[in-house]
Amino acid sequence: MNIATKVTSKMIATKDVSLDDKYISDHGSAYMTGIQALVRLPLAQTRRDELNGLHTAGFISGYRGSPVGNYDNFLWQIGGLLKDHHVVFQPGINEDLAATAIWGTQQANLAGQGKYDGVSAWWYGKGPGVDRSGDVLRHANLAGTAEHSGVVALFGDDHSCKSSTVPHQSEHVMMGCGIPIFYPTSVQHILDLGVHAIAMSRFAGVWTSMKLVSEIVETSASVIVDLDRVTPVLPEIELPADGIHIRWPDHGIQQEQRLYQYRLPAVLAYARANQLNQITWPCEHARIGIAASGKGYLDTIEALRILGIENETAQQLGLRVYQVGLIWPLEPQGLREFAAGLQELIVVEEKRPILEAQIKDELYSLPDEQRPHVIGKAIHGKGEWSTSFEEAPLIGHYEFQPEPIAKMLAAQFIQLDLPESLRQQIQSRVDLLHKAEQESRRVLDLAERKPYFCSGCPHNTSTVVPEGSRALGGIGCHYIAVSLDRGTETFSQMGGEGVSWAGASHFTNEKHIFANLGDGTYFHSGYLAIRQAIAANINITYKILYNDAVAMTGGQHVDGHLSVAQLTRQLDAEGIKKQVIVTDEPELIHAEEHLAPHVEIRHRNDLDAVQRELRDISGVTALIYVQTCASEKRRRRKRDAYPDPAERLYINSDICEGCGDCSKKSNCLSIEPVETALGTKRQINQSSCNKDFTCVEGFCPSFVTVHTRDMKRPAKFEGFATGWPERPLIPQLVDTPNRIMVGGVGGTGVVTIGALLGMAAHLEGKATRVMDMAGLAQKGGTVYSYIQIAADDAQISSTKIPEHQCDLLIGADAIVAGSNAALSRLKQDAMVIVNEDGSPTSDFINKRDWYAPIHDLIDRLRGRVHKENLLSLPAARIATQVLGDAIYANQLLLGMAWQSGQIPLLRESIEKAIQLNGTAIDKNLEAFRIGCHLASDPSLITRLLDSLPKSNAPQTLTELINDRTIRLQDYWNEAYANQYRMLLEQVAKLLPEALAKTIATQLYRVMAYKDEYEVARLLTGANFKKSIESQFGRGVRLSYHLAPPTLGTNVRKRIFGYWMRFPMMLLARLQWLRESFFDPFARQQERQYEHAWRDRYIAFVETLISSPNSYNLAVAEQIAELPAEVRGFGHIKMQAMQVANQRWDELSVDLTNKV
């Protein structure tokens, strides 16, 4: 339980730590992620060898991919440390070539010229990389390792397919190659088993491997780093006279014999001597046993806790638990000791059976009375394939959660002869699980935040195909296009992009296809795909997306040099029919030397035309789309390593019609809805905008360029006292962890909050485990950080927070916080602090009237926890108002959570963690402090909200009529405004209020059509000047993006400098010319359409009020609403009017049919 305690000055003491401790400290504890533990292993190994009198080096190579996608980034960050430890980091251009280089490290001393006693080598890659590397893994493992060297293959598996094209389980490949497999359960276990993995590799002469899943390797924890924590025991075994290590010459037959006759038995001997598999829950007279490994082991322990089974109840059950660290080959003697006396042995493992098959094989020969029933993927008496899906105790696909395991275990336990009280306890826990599951199924998510391209991402534009064409997807961020409605269908494995068309094209009437291929994939293996396409002479256009970064895994550079010029020359040498470079900066490409001959360079505005040209060319063509990754631009700009234009785009909301053309042109999530007195318009989120500026291509005059790099400094809010508010009571940890969940949008700092709390807990010497669920979700999708803080590490089992166990939810995004995934984890007495500023989901791009159901989501949260435990506020707007950037909203929420007494940590620890993080320290500390004040004095929230801009939309019909009358007077003149007022006065008397409000709103819309006079007025008026100054300060210079009719029929906008303000001011004063004989704009087709549209609507209203009882008012309501669908400018508005007029004609048939 957790109890509250008052902080005293004696409690304010934290460790003196450095962020480098995780790599260089050899005593005590350090805080690190699983990935950082993998970084530490080669460094610690050279130090360990040095203590043992060996002069060794290290070598790391592989290819990135979730869940080891950031491994190379962390290694690059410590280049100096690697050099000091004689560790070479040399990433491969792909996984199999990297593995070949690793193989070479074991050959370094064969010729007698080696510089070191040995080289410990570490290969890394995700599941697909294991698949493609099977050949070299087999060859290299058969060849073996050197006596003082060794190899560990670190392979990442994505069981749930969160960041992959297909789920993966790589054990079978490793088993087929004869490579032993370690499977750790925690960050500490990664460090411990890592020592054993290299020691086993040296001892037995084999490659070893380590299975890594996100739930383990992407977890952070405080761990023991003592070099002598693990001391490998080398058992005495019988070996051949010439040993078992690598040699030359060596024939494959002898290699295979050596592997199976000597090396793998040596592996088993090592496993036995070092107790890699352990009975963690002993029971002398056990009846039932559970064997599990890795994530499955953690889920099993949590499942037992869900059932209320701890050590004492386990003894009553007769339960014994076996944690398997080396899952293949399974050490037999320890297994038999574990299985002795058991009636039933349950195997918990995700995916296909690895342990289960080995356990059955090993125990099969036991006498019947000694052989337990083994169940897992199969029931007793059946095998994996004879057990039906419905019969299987545990599924053989996707991933596990503790709750289904708990139900399966309970079903087995209840069959035993148990004390009635224990039986009832287990049954009551199961009943609660079933009830929670039923409740969860009834609750559907009100909105979904799916992964999407970052703001300003090149793929927003580059993955669009011309009408009538399709594209094949590929590996990389652009894979998201497969899930969007843009003609991208099917995909291939990495390096196979487009080659499926070499097979399909013979059997379809389709003549051509596009194929998306990222520059990272091209360098990895995609180059051969193009060679295959040319050899097959198929009609295909490769869209090579040159983004200068491997953004999907952290923004790394391609592992080697690949310039645009090199790319064009390679393609030219292969015999490509035609190449065109499309880019947002053609002038930079023109400056690049040594392009292949006849390569065209076009602006990205010509993308559609270029694609149409290329698809008509027979054979293989290439469109090289050159634009730097938006996220990487942002990162480099923070380091002053990339130009940051002194420009920002801004939307005049008074001009904006909410048509959504800017969103369609840019596909950008930084275009957000904003509520105004005239309805929902558009605004640019200046905090998330990456300055791609594609949105300005929307055919709309509301966009202006503000020539400044910086936003206006926020005005100081005087409500916050200096210093900190009085300390709250904080939870005191006793026998259960304090569990905190942070939910938000990928890329907005959710993971940072988890990292800060984890480090703060480490500083206080508390046990902690932080797990981040991100993956592809980082691309604008849902991200969770699960933080667990405990008095003792043994109290934390599962890396995720189990259902109904969360004490605090920090909802950085209401859509994520109100999702079923978050709600199902909340305790009834949990505290929820949620940001009610909802950023749009990807649905907003194609659904212009989409809105975030924030109030419904908050109501849903309110229904799940006690009313007094829910606090919602517009944190993003407050952060922008007070600190100048919405990015500080999360820190503000963290401060509120701490001051509310929901986090069992000292404030000083969190402050120290923020300082150690090293990013915008002062601003983040200030945001945290402000959050504390807001929680301490909620009246400050009200005062801040009062200072925020408001839409002041009219509420009553009278207010609405008065407001629109005044606006029409400004729009033209008093007579025009009075025409509106007089008509609406009749409407208000004769029609129902709801219909009257609709007419008041829409009649204004058709009367105040935005012609040249009105656009000029709104761009030069006082309101617009005030809104610009409120965000950017005074004196900023503007440019305008206009397509005036005097420039002809070309719909593309042009940029006009600040000088244009003065002609527009003059034009605005000439509004009295509107619709007169001397109006130069009145005879445009668009204006004539607008006049006719307005006149038809006025006639409709006059007809309606002439005899309201003669008409079907329900149909009248639908007609009255039609102008709401007519938005935009130019051709967009005219098309909308045509559709609306057609719909009007259809509805008019029923207008007089009263029901």
Instruction: For 268-277, write each residue's pLDDT tens digit.
Output: 999 999 999 9
Assess whether 282 and 268 both reside in one domain.
Answer: no
> In the numeric block, which tokens belong to residue 375?
């169940």
Gap between the Cα atoms of 21 and 14, Å rounded: 15
Residue 373: Cβ within 10 Å count: 14
CATH of the domain at 581: 3.40.50.970
> In the numeric block, which tokens belong to residue 71?
């491994």
**Which of residues 572, 594, 628 is at a domain's end?**
628
Assess whether 611 and 749 both reside in one domain.
Answer: no
Range of the domain at 463: 459-628
Q: 516 forms bridges with which residues in the sheet?
A: 543
Gap between the Cα atoms of 22 and 30, Å rounded: 5
Would 563 be classed as within a structural domain? yes
Which candidate, 515, 503, 501, places its Cα nearest to that of 470? 515
Would 1033 be classed as within a structural domain? no
Q: How many structural domains compose the chain?
A: 5
Residues 6 or more apart whose CB falls under 8 angstroms from that of 891 comprise 749, 753, 914, 924, 927, 928, 931
Residues 6 or more apart whose CB falls under 8 angstroms from that of 965 comprise 977, 978, 980, 981
Gap between the Cα atoms of 105 and 123, Å rounded: 11
Assess whether 431 and 503 both reside in one domain.
Answer: no
Residue 1048, by phi and psi: left (phi above 0), alpha (psi -120 to 50) or beta?
left
CATH of the domain at 874: 3.40.920.10
Chain segment 937-962, per-residue pLDDT in tens: 999 988 888 877 777 788 899 999 99
Is residue 111 over pLDDT 80?
yes
Is residue 551 over pLDDT 70?
no
Is residue 334 over pLDDT 90?
yes
Assess whether 63 and 204 both reside in one domain.
Answer: yes
pLDDT band at 715 (very low <50, low <70, confident <90, very high): confident
**Which of residues 398, 416, 442 is at a domain's end?**
442
Q: What is the mean pLDDT of the chain?
A: 93
Gap between the Cα atoms of 635 and 547, Å rounded: 14
Assess whether 422 and 562 both reside in one domain.
Answer: no
Chain segment 341-389, per-residue pLDDT in tens: 999 999 999 999 999 999 999 999 999 999 999 999 999 889 999 999 8
Assess whether 755 and 814 both reside in one domain.
Answer: yes
Would 55 be classed as within a structural domain? yes
pTM value is: 0.92
Average pLDDT over residues 161-179: 94
Three-class SS string for 998-1047? HHHHHHHHHHCCCCHHHHHHHHHCHHHHHHHHHHHCCCCCEEEEECCHHH
Out of 291-300, 452-461, 648-657, 711-720, which region has the weakest mean confidence (pLDDT)? 711-720
Whether the Cβ atoms of residue 458 and residue 476 lie closer than 8 Å to each other? no
> In the numeric block, which tokens belong to residue 543?
């869209």
Gap between the Cα atoms of 782 and 801, Å rounded: 16
Assess whether 210 and 92 both reside in one domain.
Answer: yes
CATH of the domain at 426: 3.40.50.920
Which candidate, 87, 94, 93, places its Cα nearest to that of 122? 87
Would 233 be classed as within a structural domain? yes
Out of 242-246, 514-518, 863-867, 1118-1122, which region has the weakest mean confidence (pLDDT)? 863-867
**CA terminus-to-terminus distance, the chain:** 64
Residue 553 has a pLDDT of 56
Which candidate, 259, 288, 275, places its Cα nearest to that of 333? 275
Share of the chain above pLDDT 90, in %: 81
Is residue 12 over pLDDT 70?
no
Residue 1 has a pLDDT of 46
Residue 556 has a pLDDT of 65
Assess whether 86 and 200 both reside in one domain.
Answer: yes
Residue 549 has a pLDDT of 72
Would 17 be classed as within a structural domain? no
Which candidate, 963, 972, 969, places its Cα nearest to that of 1068? 972
Before 249, cis peptide (omega within 30)?
Answer: yes
Chain segment 15-47, per-residue pLDDT in tens: 677 888 899 999 999 999 999 999 999 999 999
Assess whether 63 and 136 both reside in one domain.
Answer: yes
Residues 6 or more apart whose CB falls under 8 angstroms from that of 165 comprise 475, 479, 491, 493
Would 684 be classed as within a structural domain? no
Chain segment 1065-1100, per-residue pLDDT in tens: 999 999 999 999 999 999 999 999 999 999 999 999
The beta-carbon contacts of 1-5 under 8 Å, at least 24 apart in sequence, are 1/734, 1/735, 1/736, 2/731, 2/732, 2/733, 2/734, 2/736, 2/738, 2/807, 2/904, 3/731, 3/732, 3/734, 4/729, 4/730, 4/731, 4/732, 4/901, 5/729, 5/730, 5/731, 5/732
3-state secondary structure of 559: coil
Is residue 1049 over pLDDT 50?
no
pLDDT band at 775 (very low <50, low <70, confident <90, very high): low
Distances (CA, A) of 567 to 72, 75, 520, 625: 24, 28, 12, 12
pLDDT band at 1132 (very low <50, low <70, confident <90, very high): very high
Residue 450 has a pLDDT of 85
Residue 1050 has a pLDDT of 53
Before 235, cis peptide (omega within 30)?
Answer: no
Whether the Cβ atoms of residue 785 and residue 751 lie closer than 8 Å to each other? yes
Is residue 1047 over pLDDT 50?
no
Assess whether 466 and 598 both reside in one domain.
Answer: yes
Residues 6 or more apart whose CB falls under 8 angstroms from that of 591 comprise none
Which candidate, 385, 330, 324, places its Cα nearest to that of 362? 330
3-state secondary structure of 208: strand
Would 590 be classed as within a structural domain? yes
Gap between the Cα atoms of 632 and 415, Å rounded: 58
Residue 9 has a pLDDT of 43
Gap between the Cα atoms of 756 and 272, Å rounded: 40
Four-CA torsion 237, 241, 243, 244, nearest 10 degrees: -80
Average pLDDT over residues 468-484: 91
> In the numeric block, which tokens belong to residue 1008?
């105040």
Three-class SS string for 919-941? CCHHHHHHHHHHHHHHHHCCHHH
Which candidate, 502, 492, 494, places its Cα nearest to that of 534? 502
C-alpha radius of gyration, the chain, whole number:
34
Is residue 1048 over pLDDT 60?
no
Four-CA torsion 429, 433, 435, 441, nearest 10 degrees: 180
557 vs 243: which has the higher pLDDT: 243
Is residue 627 over pLDDT 90?
yes
Average pLDDT over residues 412-426: 93
Dihedral sign for Cα 307, 310, 316, 321, please: positive
b/e burial code for range 772-783 (CB count within 10 A of at least 16 → b)? bbbbbbbbbbbb
Gap between the Cα atoms of 424 and 421, Å rounded: 5
Q: 624 forms bridges with which residues in the sheet?
A: 544, 581
Share of the chain above pLDDT 70, in %: 97
| One-letter amino acid for residue 359 of the chain | I
Chain segment 432-442, per-residue pLDDT in tens: 999 888 887 77
pLDDT band at 1025 (very low <50, low <70, confident <90, very high): very high
Is residue 483 over pLDDT 50?
yes
Residue 28, by phi and psi: left (phi above 0), alpha (psi -120 to 50) or beta?
left
Chain segment 662-693, per-residue pLDDT in tens: 999 999 999 999 999 999 999 999 989 999 99
3-state secondary structure of 117: coil
Assess whether 267 and 283 both reside in one domain.
Answer: no
Whether the Cβ atoms of residue 384 and residue 355 lie closer than 8 Å to each other? no
pLDDT band at 724 (very low <50, low <70, confident <90, very high): very high
Chain segment 960-1007, per-residue pLDDT in tens: 999 999 999 999 999 999 999 999 999 999 999 999 999 999 999 999
Distances (CA, A) of 631 to 454, 654, 779, 812: 7, 31, 10, 20
Residues 6 or more apart whose CB falls under 8 angstroms from that of 924 comprise 888, 891, 914, 917
> In the numeric block, which tokens belong to residue 793?
């590490």
Is residue 515 over pLDDT 70?
yes
Gap between the Cα atoms of 514 and 1049, Å rounded: 32
Residues 6 or more apart whose CB falls under 8 angstroms from that of 408 comprise 346, 393, 394
User: What are residue 43's phi and psi, to 5 degrees?
Assistant: -65, -50
Assess whether 255 and 354 both reside in one domain.
Answer: no
Would 1046 be classed as within a structural domain? no
Residue where the block lists tokens 């405004």:
977
Chain segment 210-220, per-residue pLDDT in tens: 999 999 999 99
**Which of residues 273, 295, 330 is at a domain's end?**
273
Is residue 1110 over pLDDT 90?
no
